[in-house]
Amino acid sequence: MAALASVIIVGVLLGPVAARGDDAASWIERSHEAVFESEQSVVCQTPAGQVDGVFSVRGTGEAVIAGRGGETPVYGVAGMFASTGEGFTGIRVPMDETGSDRMEYVSVEVDGERFEGRRTRTFEMVRDGVVRTTMAFDVASGALISMITLNADGSDYCVVRTGSFAQPVGLSAVEAMPVEVVAELEAVDVDPVTAPTSLAGFVRLDTYRWRDTGTATFYSDGLFSFTLIATPSPFALDESDAEDVVLDGGEYRRLFEPGRVTYVWESEIGGMAIIGDMPLDLQEAILADLAPSERPNMLTRLWRRLFR
């Protein structure tokens, strides 16, 4: 069994998108280049109860760094980073295509409130007539200072709030990449069975080798994103907060963390896992489009052990 606890895939803040004038997309792009220091809280309402955390967030002009205890995800404007579980010593994931040309979201500017006396610009992101997120940006720096992610029924999924904010003088862009890039992920041919072209409106972007025999495929709908991992062997998700759940697609092991959810299951085609930031209803829609949870028969398990 492969342990999934060591796998963390993180993406650029909201995914890099093409600038489209003075709309949410252009402000998202600008937020990647903001220079600031802040403390942000993340509170998510999940079927397993509330999960929350406080992060120290720093923008250096070339990256946004979010630290929580010993874990330091890195969001770089030039690509993505994947952790191997020993801190972010850095595996660079090139992201030449973002899927932004297929982005189905429309941004609508709405009235916002000042933050600590600072002017803000606030936008709603709408898809198929449903508001999926409200985000506010600091006008002076361009930094994203609050974001509310919504389920399809309008209820809050995750709320990100900034508690303190400063623009220190002399924060250098040289500090932008605090991790050493030690390896590039190896791009591999896509297997359309394990990684379909699209899933619940999310478009497949790139597929890379994961460990020796697995693959990691990145998906985005232009706003939310997730990673689909497929291997010949089943996964183990042993965190104490993980739970076993039964959904329409079968039995899954699920772990909610602030701003992120992980599902693992065993299917007829092997071990499967998704890791992403999408709201609750989109999580279930993605799972419904993938190979269902099913314990393989004895012959299949024997074949895997002998030939994979």
- Are the CB atoms for 209 and 230 separated by under 8 Å? no
Contact 32, 16 (CB under 8 A): yes
- What is residue 155's predicted lDDT score, i.e. its pLDDT? 97
Q: How far apart are CA 208 and CA 253, in angstroms?
A: 24
**pLDDT of res. 185:** 67
pLDDT, averaged across the chain: 76
- pLDDT value, residue 68: 67
- Locate all alpha helices (DSSP H) within 125-279, ordered by sequence: none
Phi-psi region of 4 (alpha: psi -120 to 50; beta: other; left: phi over 0): alpha
186-307 topology per CATH: Phosphorylase Kinase; domain 1 (3.30.200)
Of 51-65, 115-129, 215-229, which gets the smallest average pLDDT? Answer: 51-65
Asked if residue 286 lies in contact with residue 199, where contact means CB atoms within 8 angstroms, the answer is: yes
Instruction: Give the separation between CA 46 and CA 21, rounded to whole angstroms.
Output: 35
Q: Is 102 exposed, middle or buried (0-12, 13-18, 19+ CB in 10 A)?
A: middle
Task: Determine the distance from the C-alpha atom of residue 225 to the mean position of all C-alpha atoms in its chain, rounded to a whole number.
Answer: 5
The predicted pLDDT at position 48 comes to 94
Percent of the chain beyond pLDDT 90? 33
Query: DSSP 3-state assignment of 262?
Result: strand
Q: Write the burial class of residue 45 (CB in 10 Å: 0-12 exposed, 13-18 middle, 19+ buried).
A: middle
How far is the C-alpha of 197 from the C-alpha of 204, rounded, in Å? 5
CATH 3.30.200.100 spans which residues of the chain? 186-307
Instruction: Provide the whole-model pTM.
Output: 0.81
pLDDT surpasses 50 at 91: no
131 has a pLDDT exceeding 90: yes
The span from the CA of 148 to the CA of 159, in Å, is 4
Q: Are 185 and 93 in contact (CB under 8 A)?
A: yes
| pLDDT-wise least confident of 17-26, 29-38, 160-169, 192-201 | 17-26
* pLDDT above 70: residue 302: no
Confidence at 34, pLDDT banded by 50, 70, 90: confident
